[in-house]
Chain A
Amino acid sequence: MNSTRVWIVFAAAIIASFVVPHFLPPGLSDWVTRLSTLMLVAISWNMMANAGLISLGHSGFWGLGAYSVALLANAFHMPFWLSLIPAMLLGAIFGAFLAYITGRLRGLFFAISTLATSEALRVVALMVPKLTGGAEGVFVFDQIRPDRVTMTSFALCLAVVAVAISYFLSRSRYQYALRAMRDSESAVQMLGVNPARFRIGVTTLSGAIAACGGVISAWYTGYLDPGSAFDLKVTISAQIAPLFGGLYTVTGPVIGSFAILALSELTRLYFNYSGGVGLLVYGCILVFGVLLMPSGLVGLWKRRRKRAGPVAAIPAEVK
């Protein structure tokens, strides 16, 4: 696809995200909002994974975004779209901080440190009740909360922007460097790339995007406490979606988010007489999905298409 066409597609998607929510029934609109927030964290997680940074701390970004919204909105009656700026800033700063303190830690060690920092944030939120309301939680003023349609449009719009960012990043020359970093940071450094700069760059961007997810959730639910804001479930679904959809791809986290949310709804509806069974089936499908499709739904689709009609390898042009 040439770049003008891509811009048109993204512009159309942005417009659609403002128009479509007006025609959605409440149930579906709620679903779309949740889908958008999941997409945001999934894209953000995938971005870091792409550079070899496996994060278990995405609930930290999420919680920071959510709390900054709740506190700033209550203190300054900040309109919801403006609250995005401090939240993203906070997420970005936390991302950079995470990359800075973990230094050269990789793999499991990096993952555990991110888990520890996000858990630390949760404990801090519990321990400073004057600021965060502690375990009782904090309510966002009802008067300043936007209505459902606005909220859905806002969420969809952010998700589209996140997809656009990850798409353009995947087209840029930084993409090779990031993918190569996943393989070996010292080998990348030998080629004149400063891995520290890239690491901080990618965690900053990823943190800002994940914080948006928290922003939406805070405005949407209107209430948060440390347990729900820094919920490990966020971290887990942020990685299941790309795994299920297709790791390290642009479309993977998008399709994966869609698939796992649809799946959880379907199992819930189908087995609604007992919640446990629904969750069990949902879990089993996820496990077998990941086992049987190592490159996710995207990989499955690509393989299908290859089998249907062998396309001649397109020679890469000299750039």
Chain B
Amino acid sequence: MTTAMLELDTIRAGYNDAIAIENISLTVGQGEVVCLLGANGAGKTTTMRVVTGLIPLLSGAIRYNGEDISHMPAHERVAAGICLSPEGRQVFPDLTVMENLSLGSFNRRARPNRKQSLERVLTLFPKLHERRSQAAGLMSGGEQQMLAIGRALMGEPKLLALDEPSLGLSPKMVSTVFESIQTIAKSGITILLVEQNTRAALAIAQRGYVLSAGRVVHEGTAADLAQSEMVQKAFVGAAFTKQSVRTSRRERRLAQSNEGGAGA
């Protein structure tokens, strides 16, 4: 493993009285793609919020490039290079695509290079160029997801945090989005990815952690995790076989109906 860019040291966090994550430790190396897997309520999004500073840390420490950032406010972490594409996209519906993107480069470090960043994002997502003066709220889910990732990229991330980029997208759109994520990773940006779509996530990640009930229950290389039964269990629980058959059938049907269509 290369030098650790992000290091979570036995962190604990939650909402009011409810502790959502307990004793989570993980590292993300420079240039790596690391995924966090787990079922609903496993603590993936909470971990992401702690990393980006949206909720406070109760105990433990977060180190970023060796520096303790446990109590750094969220907007300063963006300036330090940690940019998030949040769960559920959270694009600003009344603002146009361009306005959303330019908000992404609001921080002082990214502002001078806005033009180059914009060019890079629009090359990565040509669809956004087509839709540049459209209100973001009027776009499809897939386009909004591209916008959310593009907006995070406008902040010139060193560490890009992607929270469920496949949420609510058609299988075809999922593969489009994941191809873009792979391109981003190849450009040298470190990625921390939270996903429910295990297969898609493990296909692009080098390493992964499996969370369950707020703890890390398994970790390993992507290849190991893909083989592991433990992952399947942690991910879908007892009803694994039945449910996975049903999902895959639905996925297949969706894929068929989407073939040749615009996707998403």
Measured between C-beta atoms, what is the minimum distance from B148 to chain A in Å?
10
- Asked if residues A313 and B133 are in contact (CB atoms below 8 Å), the reply is yes
| B38 CB within 8 Å of chain A | no
Give complex CA distance A189, B54 in Å: 8
- Asked if residues A190 and B106 are in contact (CB atoms below 8 Å), the reply is no
Hey, which chain B residues are within 8 Å of A180, CB to CB? 92, 95, 103
Give complex CA distance A314, B86 in Å: 30
| A188 CB within 8 Å of chain B | yes
Measured between C-beta atoms, what is the minimum distance from B137 to chain A in Å?
10
- Asked if residues A176 and B132 are in contact (CB atoms below 8 Å), the reply is no
Within 8 A of B (CB), among A173-231: 173, 176-177, 179-180, 183-184, 186-195
- Asked if residues A191 and B151 are in contact (CB atoms below 8 Å), the reply is yes
**Interface-centre pick from A186, A190, A316 (highest chain B CB count, 10 A):** A190
Hey, which chain B residues are within 8 Å of A318, CB to CB? 98, 115, 118
- Asked if residues B92 and A179 are in contact (CB atoms below 8 Å), the reply is yes
CB-CB under 8 A for A177 and B86, given A316-B98, A316-B133 = no
- Asked if residues B75 and A189 are in contact (CB atoms below 8 Å), the reply is yes
Hey, which chain B residues are within 8 Å of A183, CB to CB? 92-94
| B8 CB within 8 Å of chain A | no
- Asked if residues B103 and A188 are in contact (CB atoms below 8 Å), the reply is yes
User: Which residue of the partner chain, among B83, B86, B96, contacts A187 with CB atoms under 8 Å?
Assistant: B86
What is the interface of chain A mostly: helix, strand, loop, or mixed? loop
What is the interface of chain B mostly: helix, strand, loop, or mixed? mixed
- Asked if residues B95 and A194 are in contact (CB atoms below 8 Å), the reply is no
Hey, which chain A residues are within 8 Å of B94, CB to CB? 179, 183
Hey, which chain B residues are within 8 Å of A316, CB to CB? 96, 98, 132-133
- Asked if residues B118 and A190 are in contact (CB atoms below 8 Å), the reply is no
Binary flags per residue of B87-119, CB closer than 8 Å to A gives 1, else 0:
000101111101100111011001000110010
| A171 CB within 8 Å of chain B | no
Chain B interface size band reads 20 to 34
Hey, which chain B residues are within 8 Å of A191, CB to CB? 75, 78, 83, 103-104, 106-107, 151, 155
Binary flags per residue of A35-50, CB closer than 8 Å to B gives 1, else 0:
0000000000000000
Closest to A318 in B: B118
Give complex CA distance A183, B90 in Å: 9
- Asked if residues B99 and A193 are in contact (CB atoms below 8 Å), the reply is no
Hey, which chain B residues are within 8 Å of A314, CB to CB? 133
Give complex CA distance A3, B92 in Å: 28
Chain A interface size band reads 20 to 34
Binary flags per residue of A161-174, CB closer than 8 Å to B gives 1, else 0:
00000000000010
Measured between C-beta atoms, what is the minimum distance from B98 to chain A in Å?
5
User: Which residue of the partner chain, among B54, B90, B106, B151, contacts A173 with CB atoms under 8 Å?
Assistant: B106
User: Which residue of the partner chain, among A176, A187, A194, A319, contacts B73 with CB atoms under 8 Å?
Assistant: A194
| B177 CB within 8 Å of chain A | no
Hey, which chain A residues are within 8 Å of B86, CB to CB? 187, 190
| B84 CB within 8 Å of chain A | yes
- Asked if residues B133 and A192 are in contact (CB atoms below 8 Å), the reply is no
Give complex CA distance A191, B107 in Å: 7
Measured between C-beta atoms, what is the minimum distance from B43 to chain A in Å?
19
Provide a sorted-by-A list of 16 A–B residue pairs whose CB atoms are within 8 angstroms: A176-B95, A176-B102, A179-B95, A180-B103, A183-B93, A184-B90, A187-B86, A187-B90, A189-B74, A190-B52, A190-B86, A191-B83, A191-B103, A192-B107, A194-B75, A315-B133
Interface contacts beyond A177-B103, A180-B92, A193-B103: sample of 6 additional A-B pairs, CB < 8 Å, sorted by A: A176-B102, A187-B92, A191-B83, A191-B151, A192-B78, A193-B106
Residues of B whose CB lies within 8 Å of any CB of A are 52, 54, 73-75, 78-79, 83-84, 86, 90, 92-96, 98-99, 102-104, 106-107, 110, 114-115, 118, 132-133, 151, 155
Residues of A whose CB lies within 8 Å of any CB of B are 173, 176-177, 179-180, 183-184, 186-195, 313-316, 318-319
